[in-house]
Amino acid sequence: MVYSKLNVLHWHIVDEQSFPLEIPSYPKLSNGAYSYSEKYTINDAIHIVQYAEKRGVNVLAEIDVPGHAGSWGVGYPSLWPSATCQQPLDVSNDFTFKVIDGILSDFSKVFKFKFVHLGGDEVDTSCWTTTPRIKSWLVQHGMNESDAYRYFVLKAQKIAISHGYEIINW
């Protein structure tokens, strides 16, 4: 009977304060971990997923974008709107989406569950309108903050789908 139920471990891997998983495509992301000793290697993640799968548990990985991502810029400061306005992730920077693509590419080799969680909650987009270059990008693209948020979420979803995932957002 227990195996007829869907058992899921929702692993909220990264958050505002810490990026503890080493990502081969972008190794400096884990510079945002609480400390050097508080990191997971890809092999650690593989072991956790295998351990769970042997017990009938799927591991749902979550990266929370575009908010809750202050830790991302510790290793890659260009992901921040500015040094003083560190989240949400920079919607105007193509590098932001290349990093998300790299993370999800690496995830797809570890997290075999068909779903990935992209977060999307509690996003204060004011940095996008108070950072001059992002404000200019918004004007250039005819977007307000809500449009930019929708653009970000849909682009992140498209990236996840390209890696074979189905999407969950808050």
Active site residues: 122
- Other Cβ atoms less than 10 A from the Cβ of 69: the count is 26
- Enter the tokens of residue 2: 């227990």
Cβ atoms 110, 93 nearer than 8 A: no
CA distance 164 to 152: 19
Burial class (CB in 10 A: 0-12, 13-18, 19+), 63: buried
Cβ atoms 20, 91 nearer than 8 A: no
* Three-state SS at 126: helix
- Other Cβ atoms less than 10 A from the Cβ of 74: the count is 18
Q: Reply yes or no: is the peptide bond before residue 77 cis, omega within 30 of 0.
A: no
Query: How big is the chain by its Cα radius of gyration, in Å?
Result: 16
